[in-house]
Amino acid sequence: MRSCNLKTTIHFEENALSRLASLEYKSVFIITDPFMVSSGLIKTVTKHLDSAQIKYKIYSDVVPDPSTDKVVSGVAALVREMSPCLIAVGGGSAIDLAKCVRLFAHNLHADYAPHFIAIPTTSGTGSEVTSFAVITDTKRNIKHALIDDFLLPNEAILDVEMVKSVPASIAADTGMDVLAHALEAYVSTESDYFSDMYAEKATSLCKHYLVRSYRYPQTQEKKARDKMHVASCLAGIAFNTASLGICHSIAHQLGAQFHIPHGRANAIVLPDAIAFNSGIAENTFSLDNPAPCVSKYANMSRRIGLIGYDDVACVKSLAYFIRSMQIEMGMPISVHDAAPTVSFTEYESRLDAMAEAALLDRCTKTNPRTPTKADIIKILKKIW
């Protein structure tokens, strides 16, 4: 038996944040990215609480790729208040920190389980609808993916007002994360009808709106930002069911070792992960016994309007299309471009540890092709 459970209530489109004015709580605890406070954007959220006379406490000790020690201080702050409702406002980092803080506060006080609302301010991780949280162990340079149903938010609010201020380069990084989620969920060994449907729609939205969302605000095309915000959530639902693959396992190493932003790291790895999974090398033009993921990648490629005379050509089109989007958005396409201060000697010295950690990463389990350590090292060398 298999099950598909969509627990989070999603509020979206114009004025979605007005949901906050109908909360039945007298006080809430907000965990947010410091940028939300310094830019004043948090007021877009708190004005609805003010109008309903709901008191709030703001906690903003959040850093990109939150670490275990940030969880400890966050738990102490939340437990001091014991608020009945926790609201996370920010990108994946703020939402993941809030998820872990809530989980560990609950572990300390079994009857404390605050209502949990996630308000994403980037269109990338889909964390608002996933039971995943990624926490960095800064001592060992490892990113841990926690998976627990308790991490799943009760409500998610997708309001385009929260993503209009995202700079172009972050829109590119986070948008590529959406695409990686959708494509990895689509070929995962745990994919099913439901995850496929969400992955297909998310990929199609990326095809049409990712580069346009990067060009905002020059183009004044708010619609592109709105569509990518929904795409991020749809891809989150897809991978929450199907999980991910080695693109993420390897990207987690690049993030933990060299602080390459999560989506940027995924974009660098994605075309090579597709080539590895499908067994299609640069000089391969046909396959006698193609792996099952070849027809899935090819199907996705056709669905989003790419062309190719057979499945192999369609998969190649998909990989080229990803690279061309990266180039169009001015993104680095290699580790060397993304982390120019790292020398090859240093990179090479970490290959072994990175490959071992990638093999142990939970995302590797659902990759359509089981990699060996040598396979991961080969990909790591290729993307240098």
Ligand X SMILES: NC(=O)c1ccc[n+]([C@@H]2O[C@H](COP(=O)([O-])OP(=O)(O)OC[C@H]3O[C@@H](n4cnc5c(N)ncnc54)[C@H](O)[C@@H]3O)[C@@H](O)[C@H]2O)c1
Least CB distance to Zn ion at residue 382 (A):
20
Of residues 120 and 290, the one with the C-beta less far from ligand X:
120
Name the token pair of 292: 């099952």
Which of ligand X, Zn ion, none binds 96 (CB below 5-8 Å, type-dependent)?
Answer: ligand X
Please, is 215 exposed, middle or buried when counting C-beta atoms within 10 Å of its C-beta (0-12, 13-18, 19+)?
A: middle
Tell me which of ligand X, Zn ion, none is bound by residue 371, counting a contact when its beta carbon lies within the kind-specific cut-off of 5 to 8 angstroms.
Answer: none
- Chosen from Zn ion, ligand X, none, partner binding at 277 (C-beta under 5 to 8 Å by type): none
Shortest separation between residue 177's beta carbon and Zn ion, angstroms: 4
Q: Which one of Zn ion, ligand X, none interacts with residue 35, CB within 5 to 8 A by kind? A: ligand X
Give the residues lining the site for ligand X (CB under 6 A). 33, 35, 64-65, 90-94, 96, 121-122, 124-127, 130, 132-134, 143, 162-163, 165-166, 170, 174, 177, 262-263
Question: Which spans of this chain sit near Zn ion (rule: CB under 5 A)?
Answer: 177
Pairing of the two strands 85-90 and 115-120: parallel
Nearer to ligand X, 177 or 196 (CB): 177
Question: How near is the Cβ of 376 to ligand X at its closest, in Å?
Answer: 18
Residue 283 has φ and ψ, to the nearest 5°, of -100, 20
Tokens read off for 83? 């608020």
Q: Which is nearer to ligand X, 77 or 168 (by Cβ)?
A: 168
| C-beta of 96 vs 361, nearer to ligand X | 96
CB of 137 to ligand X, least distance (A): 12
CB closer to ligand X out of 121 and 277: 121
User: Which of 163/230 has CB closer to ligand X?
Assistant: 163
For residues 87 and 155, give the distance between their C-alpha atoms in angstroms, rounded to a whole number.
9
Closest to 178 (Cα-Cα) out of 250, 223, 230, 245: 230
Shortest approach of ligand X to residue 356 CB, angstroms?
Answer: 19
Least distance CB 143 / Zn ion (angstroms): 11
122 touches, from ligand X, Zn ion, none (C-beta below 5 to 8 Å by class):
ligand X
Q: At what angle do helices 168-187 and 222-242 cross, to 10 degrees?
A: 30
Give the DSSP letter string of 36-82. Answer: HHHTSTTHHHHHHHHHTT-EEEEE----SS-BHHHHHHHHHHHHHH-
Task: Choose among 41, 99, 110: nearest CA to 75.
Answer: 99
Nearest approach, Cβ of residue 92 and ligand X (Å): 2
Could you tell me the CA-to-CA distances from 312 to 153, 281, 299 in Å, in that order? 40, 10, 11
Q: Which is nearer to Zn ion, 59 or 239 (CB)?
A: 239
Task: Please report, for the chain, how many H helices and E strands are present, in that order.
Answer: 14, 8
For residue 119, the SS3 value is strand
